[in-house]
């Protein structure tokens, strides 16, 4: 039988604020345990919560870039559950009047374009971090993350396969990071995704039993978890090997399996009620306009600018605009060297190549864009050849060297003196009679080998085009 997978996503994104949602503690990631905690976010009795305006601004940003309808009077509610990572024993969230509803995000897969509709986006506070210590049999609590502002983006069950999920997450990441809502780093937990999944016979209207999967901290893990869980559901339906229940399941990345965490609570179990300490927030037209007018260029706008105004290929532009970090490098490098195609090539081929080799993500690339621009100019002006440029790029990345000075100090300038090249070519041909003989027999492959020998002899600094043409003419005269 053919099955259809039905999925809905809950994506949590940490907002890029300085301070927490309801108190002035720093919201920064990576501090020592419990360094950014005050009586309010530690849940001490009598501490008033006061909403961070920037968090609301960023929520409005998120609403705008996801085409959502903004709720004009939004309120905060208490979601009650008892767990040590939440010192108040309730989470402040938005249940009755979230910041916006009914948005959509357009995705594109091999099957074409599709609109993923959003149920709502709400603002809420994050919970603390728990570290379980097996040795002492205790759990250790760090409340630095407690009350850090989040938005949760709740989609409708519009997804039918992992490819759609991944493209949606990439689109969402681009939309939100370009808008400055969040840095959306999955590995640091500033973007987290829960997948609600069920399986039904193709053509059926009725939804199957739904499970929720948590703890996937990369796109790869999400793809693997969906594949595993969908198969588990199908097996259960076909063989009756287990009875599916509505539950929350964790993803074990090492074992490549999902495991039961807890039975899913009903909404009523959370006993939501309005938080009487927090006054309603009325969002006026003026407020929305103020936020809208200060929104930076969206990833989509940038894509259009790159392809239409700058005439760059769609493929290149889509790589640059899927990441705020790469787009920033592109813009800043262009500010110093205005040849878009050259800049894009150096980013995609060289910079990303090096990052990939170092197992680094796009967001982790740190480069002085003025120096990067200088380097590209040196190659473009034929002051150095491309290979020297590649090696120089590593020096710029690792040691922050100044390209022009480095080339001067190390004598890496491109050798274009034809008499020198001519001499090197003659020498290499004399030293490699076997290759020359093979060439005469029609083995054109040896040209590449001879090129390499000549470049080596000239310290890798010769102009490859000049070498190629001189080698060709000397071979032709043989």
> Contact positions toward another protein, by CB under 8 A?
17-19, 23-26, 32-35, 37-40, 42, 50-56, 73, 75, 80-84, 96, 130-133, 136-143, 261-262, 269, 271, 274-282
For another protein, the closer CB: 193 or 367: 193
Identify the CA nearest to 117 among candidates 104, 129, 98: 104
Least distance (Å) between residue 237 CB and another protein: 27
Least distance (Å) between residue 146 CB and another protein: 11
Least distance (Å) between residue 385 CB and another protein: 50
Least distance (Å) between residue 108 CB and another protein: 35
For another protein, the closer CB: 131 or 207: 131
For another protein, the closer CB: 215 or 323: 215
For another protein, the closer CB: 56 or 63: 56
Least distance (Å) between residue 382 CB and another protein: 50
Least distance (Å) between residue 311 CB and another protein: 40
Least distance (Å) between residue 286 CB and another protein: 12
For another protein, the closer CB: 141 or 237: 141
Q: At what angle do helices 433-440 and 418-431 cross, to 10 degrees?
A: 90
For another protein, the closer CB: 18 or 231: 18
CA distance 173 to 176: 5
Alpha-helix residue ranges (DSSP H) falling in 268-417: 285-293, 299-304, 314-321, 324-334, 340-345, 352-357, 369-380, 386-399, 403-409
For another protein, the closer CB: 136 or 477: 136
For another protein, the closer CB: 81 or 366: 81
Beta-ladder partners of 7: 159, 197
Least distance (Å) between residue 253 CB and another protein: 17
For residues 73-109, one letter each, b for 16 or more C-beta atoms within 10 angstroms of the residue's C-beta and e for the rest, the string is ebbbbbbeeeeebbbbebbbbbbebbbbbebbbebee
For another protein, the closer CB: 262 or 440: 262
Least distance (Å) between residue 18 CB and another protein: 5
For another protein, the closer CB: 261 or 354: 261
User: Among all chains, which residue has been given the structure tokens 């001879």?
Assistant: 450
Q: Which residues contact 274 (CB under 8 A, 6 or more apart)?
A: 75, 76, 77, 78, 96
CA distance 382 to 339: 15
Cβ–Cβ under 8 Å, residues 207 and 142: no
Cβ–Cβ under 8 Å, residues 346 and 360: no
How far is CA 466 from its chain centroid?
Answer: 42
Least distance (Å) between residue 184 CB and another protein: 19
CA-CA distances (angstroms) from residue 302 to 58, 148, 160, 177, 217?
Answer: 20, 30, 29, 13, 28
Beta-ladder partners of 213: 195, 249
Least distance (Å) between residue 75 CB and another protein: 5
Q: Tokens standing for 463?
A: 């102009």
Identify the CA nearest to 173 among candidates 353, 292, 298, 347: 298
Least distance (Å) between residue 284 CB and another protein: 9
For another protein, the closer CB: 95 or 372: 95
CA distance 282 to 375: 52
The one-character DSSP state at 122 is E
| Burial (CB count within 10 angstroms: exposed 0-12, middle 13-18, buried 19+), residue 53 | exposed
Cβ–Cβ under 8 Å, residues 113 and 129: no
CA-CA distances (angstroms) from residue 443 to 97, 379, 446, 447, 461?
Answer: 75, 32, 6, 8, 27
For another protein, the closer CB: 196 or 299: 196
Identify the CA nearest to 213 among candidates 205, 222, 204: 222
Cβ–Cβ under 8 Å, residues 194 and 213: yes
């Amino acid at each position: 039988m053919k099955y259809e997978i039905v999925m809905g996503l809950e994506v949590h994104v940490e907002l890029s604020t300085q301070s927490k949602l309801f108190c002035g503690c720093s919201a920064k990631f990576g501090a020592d345990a419990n360094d950014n905690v005050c009586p309010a976010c530690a849940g001490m009795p009598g501490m008033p919560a006061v909403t961070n305006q920037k968090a609301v601004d960023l929520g409005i940003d998120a609403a705008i870039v996801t085409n959502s309808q903004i709720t004009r009077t939004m309120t905060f509610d208490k979601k009650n559950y008892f767990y040590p990572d939440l010192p108040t024993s309730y989470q402040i969230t938005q249940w009755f009047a979230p910041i916006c509803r009914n948005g959509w995000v357009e995705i594109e897969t091999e099957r074409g374009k599709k609109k993923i509709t959003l149920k709502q986006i709400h603002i809420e506070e994050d919970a603390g971090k728990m570290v379980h210590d097996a040795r002492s049999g205790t759990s250790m609590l760090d409340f630095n993350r407690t009350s850090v502002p989040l938005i949760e983006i709740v989609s409708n069950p519009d997804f039918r396969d992992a490819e759609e999920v991944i493209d949606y997450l990439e689109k969402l990441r681009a939309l939100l990071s370009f808008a400055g809502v969040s840095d959306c780093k999955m590995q640091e937990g500033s973007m987290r995704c829960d997948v609600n999944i069920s399986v039904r016979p193709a053509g059926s209207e009725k939804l199957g039993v739904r499970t929720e999967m948590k703890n996937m901290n990369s796109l790869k893990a999400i793809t693997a978890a969906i594949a595993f869980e969908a198969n588990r559901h199908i097996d259960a339906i076909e063989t009756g090997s287990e009875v599916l229940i509505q539950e929350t399941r964790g993803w074990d990345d090492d074992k490549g399996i999902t495991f039961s965490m807890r039975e899913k609570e009903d909404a009523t179990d959370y006993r939501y009620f309005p938080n009487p300490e927090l006054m309603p927030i009325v969002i006026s037209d003026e407020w929305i306009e103020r936020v809208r007018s200060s929104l930076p260029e969206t990833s989509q706008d940038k894509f259009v600018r790159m392809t239409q105004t700058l005439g760059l290929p769609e493929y290149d532009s889509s790589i640059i605009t899927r990441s705020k970090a790469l787009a920033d490098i592109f813009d800043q490098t262009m500010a110093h060297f205005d040849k878009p195609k050259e800049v894009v090539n150096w980013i995609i081929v060289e910079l990303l190549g090096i990052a990939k080799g170092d197992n680094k993500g796009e967001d982790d690339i740190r480069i002085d864009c003025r120096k990067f621009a200088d380097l590209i100019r040196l190659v473009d002006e034929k002051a150095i050849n491309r290979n020297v440029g590649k090696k120089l790029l590593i020096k710029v990345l690792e040691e922050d060297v100044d390209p022009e000075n480095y080339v001067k100090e190390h004598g890496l300038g491109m050798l274009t003196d034809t008499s020198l090249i001519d001499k090197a070519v003659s020498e290499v041909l004399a030293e490699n009679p076997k290759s020359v003989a093979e060439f005469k027999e029609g083995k054109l492959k040896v040209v590449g080998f001879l090129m390499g020998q000549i470049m080596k002899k000239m310290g890798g600094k010769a102009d490859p085009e000049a070498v190629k043409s001189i080698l060709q003419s000397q071979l032709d005269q043989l």
